[in-house]
Amino acid sequence: MVDSTGVGQGAFERDSRYITTRITRDGQDGYPVEPGRYRLVVSRACPWANRATIVRRLLGLESVLSLGVCGPTHDERSWTFDLDPGGVDPVLGIKRLQQAYFARDPDYPRGITVPAIVDERTGAVVTNDFPQLTLDLSTQWTEFHRPGAPVLYPEPLRAEIDEVNRRVYTEVNNGVYRCGFAGDQDAYDKAFTRLFDALDWLEDRLRERRFLVGDTITEADVRLFTTLARFDPVYHGHFKCNLRKLAEMPVLWAYARDLFQTPGFGDTIDFVQIKRHYYQVHTGINPTGIVPDGPDLANWFTPHGREALGGRPFGDGTAPPTPPVDEMRTADWTIERDGAR
């Protein structure tokens, strides 16, 4: 297990007891899909929240599902809205996401996590079940998808997508955390081996195919991408996942750049906030709180050559338009893109 500072005790075990209420077309759990009713609360630092921002953007749900963005750091109590004027979310009127969890359950006993969808009418969290959340955006909100939205969870491929997602989650998405939060050498060694065995499997799988499942971007690609984007800036050093950098895995590195340069992916990434979160919040791993200046991230914009494998990123659909002005990345990102560390 891991305490609030990121100090491990043996093998890392993630608490996966989420609020599993769903927002569905038929409102079976009491929360029907309604435009303008819900607010998706995220942090740009968090890989699990990053999935939701990518899917929301690809599907064009910006006008029907509002976005609240927490800052990159938090204390042991809660994510906070310190990026907003006065440190208050302008829609929910709260300073801490914890307040929305307590509006749902005054005795809520578990971690305050992002992403979370909050009912704007009551100010209470509806769900923080991040694996189901993005699937529901794809399958339950279809009436409000933009024209040309891609099909991220196509019915004929769901079994294969689910199978790939299970291994990617267990060995890669969560695998980097099992390395970083391991409390002893044996737990770390086992996690390290499992992680790089899975990355080798992905290198082989993607060698002759452009995307993980089928010939278009699916939910599987979204889930892998958010970990790959954080690998060299954070996981390689901070979490001791240092057998190879992503940039030293030629197939995965090209695949990650292909997605990064695809509208809806790279334009959700803020490397400055990502690095601040991990290096400043996990004081058990990095007690000084020093955020490293590297790596040089300009190489994310170099040619990837993956077009030669064919595939149609958006299938019969189209790329999403430019994001709304108030959802553009921070000014710090422009510096990153222009080649500074």
157-337: CATH number: 1.20.1050.10
Tens digit of each residue's pLDDT (9 = 90 or more) over 282-299: 999 999 999 999 999 999
Q: What's the full length of the chain, in residues?
A: 341
38, 101, 177, 278: the active-site residue = 177
Tens digit of each residue's pLDDT (9 = 90 or more) over 17-65: 899 999 999 999 999 999 999 999 999 999 999 999 999 999 999 999 9
131, 16 contact by CB (below 8 A): no
What the block records as the tokens of 69 is: 């963005």
Tens digit of each residue's pLDDT (9 = 90 or more) over 83-117: 999 999 999 999 999 999 999 999 999 999 999 99
pLDDT tier, 341 (very low <50, low <70, confident <90, very high otherwise)? very low
Tens digit of each residue's pLDDT (9 = 90 or more) over 135-166: 999 999 999 999 999 999 999 999 999 999 99
Note the pTM of the prediction, 2 decimals. 0.94
How far apart CA 292 and CA 233 sit, in angstroms, is 9
239, 71 contact by CB (below 8 A): no
Per-residue pLDDT at 116: 98
Residue 169 clears pLDDT 60, i.e. is over it: yes
Residue 340 clears pLDDT 80, i.e. is over it: no
* AA letter at 263: P
Q: Which of 41, 34, 24 is nearest to 124 (CA)?
A: 41
Per-residue pLDDT at 249: 98
- Where do the domains of the chain lie? 157-337
Mean pLDDT of 186-193: 98
Per-residue pLDDT at 281: 96
Per-residue pLDDT at 326: 81
Is position 179 annotated as part of the catalytic site? no
Tens digit of each residue's pLDDT (9 = 90 or more) over 297-313: 999 999 999 999 999 99
Is position 177 annotated as part of the catalytic site? yes
Does the annotation flag 141 for ligand binding? Answer: no
